[in-house]
Amino acid sequence: MTVGIVSYGAYIPRYRIKTEEIAKVWGGDAEILKNGLKVFEKSVPDVDEDAATIAVSAARNAVNRVGLDTQRIGAVYTGSESHPYAVKPTSTIVAEAVGASPDMTAADFEFACKAGSAAVQVCMGLVGSGMIDLGLAIGADVSQGAPNDALEYTAAAGGAAYVIGNKESELIAIIEDTYSFTTDTPDFWRRESQHYPSHGGRFTGDPGYFRHVTSGAKGLLKKMGTKPEDYDYAVFHQPNGKFPERAAQMLGFTKEQIKPGLVVPRLGNTYSGSCLMGIAATLDIAKPGDRIFATAYGSGAGSDAFSIRVTDKIEEFRGKVPTVEELLADPIYLDYGKYAHHKGKINFG
Amino acid sequence: MTVPRFWREQQSRYNLVGSHCKTCGNYYYPIRNLCPECRRDGDMEQYKFKGTGKIVTCTVTHTTSDEFNDLVPYALAIVELDEGAKLTTQIVDEPEKVAIGKRVHSVFRKLGSDGDSGIIYYGTKFELDKE
Amino acid sequence: MREVAIVGAKTTEFGELWEKSLRDIVVEAGVGAIEDAGISGEDIDMMYVGNMSGGKFIEQEHLGALIADYSGLAKGLNVPSTRVEAACASGGLALRQAIQAVASGYSNVAIAAGAEKMTDIDGSGVTDALAAAADREWEGIQGATFPGIYAMIAKLHMAQYGTTSEQLAAVAVKNHENGMNNPIAQFKSKLTIEQVLKSIMVSDPLHILDCSPVSDGAAAVIVVPADEAHKYTDTPIYIKASAQASDTIALHDRRDITTLDASVAAGKRAYEMAGLTPKDINFVEVHDCFTIAEICAIEDLGFFEKGKGGPASLAGETALNAKISVNPSGGLKSTGHPVGATGVKQAVEAVHQLRGEAGKRQVNGAKYGMTHNVGGSGATAVVHIFSNER
């Protein structure tokens, strides 16, 4: 059965902090950091925003884009590594807030930065088997990076939501196939009750990100018998600006192919939202018939690769909700004090 | 706020569900079972507001109770929804931009929580339309 | 319906009464009023206690019985005692209950007390307790504090009528001027417009000096049938009108955000009942919980045209013995605002003024005095008119 994207929506908080502002606090060299990470600023949530509000905002943009009858949604899965509750689902909040409750199923996902793409895959399975009519898959995070950790320069806030369906006539993009590559590789983790994640430093690179992203991508290309040049665009998980560029190069994709989806320099890493945000930014500009290759990566570790083909239907729903570019525009810059406040780093006792 | 008290009004809080009286045509937020205009002659139905409106009056609060202390300074406003009902809401933009007459739309935000271990309350606030 | 008079009145000192409990101050006010009336506890057959939030401020409910007990009116005498609550209008309502009880013949000697002990909890707790006078579910949950709610009235009043921060400040300055001559006042200090404008902002445009303070205090009056008043005193003060009105609990549901329709309605009913007009009133104790509230009050009660309250205040038309003496006591701003006590304290001030006992703050030739007590942002209003002539 054909499955694909009925709609999608993104959400990015309006606040940003520049790399220079963080570097200033820790005496870091902003130029070296910017050059090394290729992240120039990152999004920061408002004081009253969290992964649930971001998931709802992205999901509402997705359903409003196509004027969806949300009672058709049979499953809501939210992927995040910053779910507001350790126990109590984010997805029920989303389901209620988009009007999908109560005839549906829901659960929260966690797989570092690829929990959102895992949710997409599960929805593909459910709509593909005919178990449900439509599935809502979301990746949303208010990512945490410990003060003066490398992650502090990239850990951002944002999310993207996808409505997955099986009626070819209503798909704005067909998901041609998907493939995953998963091993037990502890390159990044956060223990119960810890505020900030820990990571294996440079171990997150080759054994983590690059091995899994390239293996996942190659697996899908091989499974489908396609080549990088068969695609108009490509999106790779973007923990920083450098990794996706190198992964693309290793796989034979060009800088032009990844350009529209490479939002990390102005956004930072939205973790579970990262790859899904890149796909959303690419869909915003893709034309009917375009093919998009995407690979999400989650530490721990695994990758989910997707082959997407845009349909004629996409043109019907332009301009109804903000594009990723529009969400990136007109930011409000914070100083470190305000940033610390927004991120809940100030203890009110 | 307690969990059942909040949960009972969740549809109004999450999705701006109020009431519309089919007799007098008035809209109310939140849900009212009796039309204050028509009383027993009223015929109330639930209505989901579009979530757009304009600021009738506003203030920026600098001193508040512990519950809202992490938000100061925050903008508070009375918003008249396009259907006619009015409500009190925080405006999540930079306080100095909030002014009488400006157009706003609803957003989904945290309203508060019962301390660090209690329930988190979500609901609707408003944001200025882009000019 | 019988005509009614006040024959005894007493207010305790208002302020931060660290050494005194709620029980202490109510007994002080009650005993004072009884002594003023020259009666004894045995004469009292009904008791009403205005109190907004004993439950939040001192974790004590069932205040009617508690206060009867500590006043020596419970054990043995078993005087019926009822706690009355309408947020900051609780005191005014307690008085109205006593008046109704005596007027109807159910009571021959009733005591109406008002009391609040606010300083036993911290500032945040007070802010939260007071926020319960608004709509907790649909105003409070959004972070609407009381200063925040009145600030929204002020902001719109400014936009609609050109009212200025200076005009608001003039209200506080005038009330401090009067309060300096009131022995029970919490703040007996002179204030300047500049001081008000330079004080910290609580909720734009209301500065801290636009707000009435957090206070402890109690007040009590003795209410009897007018026909019997001379049994107790040579100077009874007659109740010419007792009126009350309600409006929506939430400010956003009002017909007009800058008009307290409950004040307008209660005022109209009171004037009608007394057969008087605003021109006949020599002084008015209005509910100036915030400076904007006094401006709205003098407009809503018909002393000034809507929108003219600000300029009138700045021009000194509301000063002692000016066009109309507004808040000769110093109002809530300078005297203090122990919420449940305020409505009764206003009546005590009216009694002192109409007896000619107000000293340096005496309103010349006072014959008719009005009190105006508001609950919440205007969901309840109570208006009384008093006179020294029957």
**Per-residue model confidence as pLDDT tens digits over B63-72:** 999 999 999 9
Residue owning tokens 């003219």: C308
Does a structural domain hold residue A46? yes
Q: Which chains touch C (3 or more CB pairs under 8 A)?
A: B
pLDDT digits (tens, 9 = 90+) for A295-340: 999 999 999 999 999 999 999 999 999 999 999 999 999 999 999 9
Tell me where in chain C the CATH 3.40.47.10 domain(s) lie: 4-122+215-237, 134-211+240-387
Task: Indicate if A67 and A145 belong to the same structural domain.
Answer: yes
Q: Does B21 map to a domain?
A: no
- The per-residue pLDDT for A235 is 98
CA of A118: how far to CAs of A80, A138, A187, A298, C28, in Å? 11, 9, 19, 10, 72
Instruction: Tell me which residue in A47, A97, A332 faces B108 most closely, judged by beta carbons.
Output: A97
**A269 contacts A240 by C-beta, under 8 angstroms:** yes
Query: In this structure, are strands A73-79 and A105-109 parallel, antiparallel, or unpaired?
Result: parallel
Tell me the mean pLDDT in the region A229-251: 97
pLDDT at position A347: 85
Output the pLDDT for position B1.
77
Taking CA atoms, C102 is separated from A127, C1, C227, C342, in Å, by 76, 9, 11, 22
Give the mean model confidence (pLDDT) for residues B4-26: 96
Query: Are B14 and A97 inside 8 Å of each other by CB?
Result: yes
Say what the pLDDT of residue C151 is.
98
**Tens of pLDDT, residues C33-46:** 999 999 999 999 99
Whether chain C has a CB inside 8 Å of the CB on B65: the answer is yes
CATH number of the domain where residue B10 is located: 2.40.50.840
Rounded to the nearest 10 degrees, how much is the dihedral formed by the CA atoms of A274, A278, A283, A285?
Answer: 140
Whether A128 and A221 share a structural domain: no
Predicted complex ipTM exceeds 0.90: yes
Tokens at B38, concatenated: 């028509």
pTM of the model: 0.96
CA angle B120, B123, B125 (to 5 degrees): 125
Establish if A349 belongs to a structural domain. no
Number of compact structural domains in chain B: 1
Q: How far apart are CA C73 and CA C230, in angstroms?
A: 24
Q: Where are the alpha helices (DSSP H) in chain C?
A: 22-37, 54-57, 63-70, 90-104, 123-131, 146-161, 165-179, 193-198, 229-232, 261-274, 291-300, 309-314, 331-335, 339-355
Q: What is the pLDDT of residue B111?
A: 97
The verdict on A13 and A151 lying in the same domain is yes
Task: Report how many domains make up chain A.
Answer: 2
Nearest chain B residue to C158 by CA distance is B57
Instruction: Judge if A162 and A199 occupy the same domain.
Output: no
Residues of chain B neighbouring C257 (CB-CB closer than 8 A): 56-57, 78
Instruction: Please tell me the distance from the alpha carbon of residue C248 to that of residue B87, in angstroms, as a whole number.
Output: 12
pLDDT at A290: 98
- How many Å lie between the alpha carbon of A348 and the closest alpha carbon of chain B? 8
Strand partners, B91: B75, B126
Pick the CATH number of C4-122+215-237 from 2.60.120.10, 3.30.420.40, 3.40.47.10, 3.40.50.10490: 3.40.47.10
Q: Does one domain contain both A274 and A157?
A: no
Interfacial residues of A (vs B; Cβ cutoff 8 Å): 46-50, 52-53, 56-57, 60, 84-85, 93, 96-97, 99, 330, 332, 341, 346, 348
End-to-end CA distance of chain A: 55
Question: Do C65 and C88 meet the contact criterion of CB atoms below 8 Å apart?
Answer: no
> Can you give the pLDDT at residue B2?
85
Q: How far is the C-alpha of A25 from the C-alpha of A32, rounded, in Å? A: 15
DSSP state letters, B34-72:
SBTTTBTT--EEEEE---EEEEEEEEEE-S--GGGGGG-
| pLDDT tens profile A143-170 | 999 999 999 999 999 999 999 999 999 9
Q: What's the rounded Cα separation, in Å, for the pair C275 and B127?
A: 51
Q: With an 8 Å Cβ cutoff, are B71 and A48 in contact? A: yes
Nearest-CA distance C170 → chain B (Å): 21
Q: In terms of domains, do A143 and A14 share one?
A: yes
Q: Which residues of chain B from 87 to 116 reach within 8 Å of chain C, CB to CB?
A: 87-90, 100, 111-112
Q: For residue B65, give the nearest of C131, C149, C200 by CB distance.
A: C131
Residue B68 lies in a domain: yes
Same domain, A194 and A146: no
pLDDT in tens, A197-211: 999 999 999 999 999
CATH of segment(s) C134-211+240-387: 3.40.47.10
- Top pLDDT among A193 and C233 is at C233
Asked if C256 reaches chain B (Cβ–Cβ under 8 Å), the answer is no
On whether any CB of chain B is under 8 Å from the CB of C153, the answer is yes
Average of per-residue pLDDT values in chain A: 97
Per the domain annotation, does B35 fall within a domain? no
* pLDDT category of residue A31 using cuts at 50, 70 and 90: very high
Pairing of β B74-81 and β B44-48? unpaired
Q: Is the pLDDT of residue A230 over 80?
A: yes
Q: Cβ distance A163 to A62 under 8 Å?
A: yes
Please write the tens of the pLDDT for every residue from C87-100. Answer: 999 999 999 999 99
A to B CB pairs, distance under 8 Å: 46
CB atoms within 10 A of CB C348: 28
Q: How far is B125 from chain C (nearest CA, A)?
A: 8
Same domain, A155 and A239: no
User: Cα angle vertex A54, ends A49, A55, to 5°?
Assistant: 140
Tell me, what's the pLDDT at A262? Answer: 98
* Dist CA B45 CA B32 (whole Å): 9
Domain with A114, as residue range(s), is: 4-171+320-342
In this prediction, residue A1 carries a pLDDT of 83
In terms of phi and psi (left: phi > 0; alpha: psi -120 to 50; beta: otherwise), the region of A60 is: alpha
The residue assigned the tokens 């979500």 is B122
Q: Do A348 and B108 touch (CB under 8 A)?
A: no
Q: Which domain holds residue B114?
A: 3-15+50-128
Q: What is the pLDDT at residue C173?
A: 98
The pLDDT assigned to B116 comes to 87
Asked if the model's pLDDT at residue A349 lies above 80, the reply is: no
Residues of A recognised as catalytic: 81, 113, 237
Choose among A303, A276, A240, A323: nearest CA to A140.
Answer: A276
What lies within 8 Å, CB to CB, of B81 at 6+ separation is B16, B27, B29, B49, B50, B51, B52, B53, B87
Domain presence at residue B69 = yes
Number of Cβ within a 10 Å radius of residue C35: 13
Say whether both A48 and A187 belong to one domain: no
C88 is catalytic: yes
Q: Please tell me which residue in C287, C337, C372, C384 is annotated as part of the active site.
A: C337
pLDDT at B131 over 90: no
Report residue A254's pLDDT band, with 50, 70 and 90 as the boundaries. very high
Q: Is A24 helix (H, G, I), strand (E, B) or coil?
A: helix
pLDDT in tens, chain C (390 residues): 999 999 999 999 999 999 999 999 999 999 999 999 999 999 999 999 999 999 999 999 999 999 999 999 999 999 999 999 999 999 999 999 999 999 999 999 999 999 999 999 999 899 989 999 999 999 999 999 999 999 999 999 999 999 999 999 999 999 999 999 999 999 999 999 999 999 999 999 999 999 999 999 999 999 999 999 999 999 999 999 999 999 999 999 999 999 999 999 999 999 999 999 999 999 999 999 999 999 999 999 999 999 999 999 999 999 999 999 999 999 999 999 999 999 999 999 999 999 999 999 999 999 999 999 999 999 999 999 999 999
Q: What is the dihedral of CA C93, C96, C100, C103, to 10 degrees?
A: 170
Q: Do A53 and B108 touch (CB under 8 A)?
A: yes
**Would you state the pLDDT for residue A211?**
98
User: Closest partner residue to B76 among C144, C153, C253, by Cβ?
Assistant: C144
Cα separation, B99 vs B82, whole angstroms: 17
For position A139, which CATH number holds?
A: 3.40.47.10
Q: Are A187 and A73 in contact (CB under 8 A)?
A: no
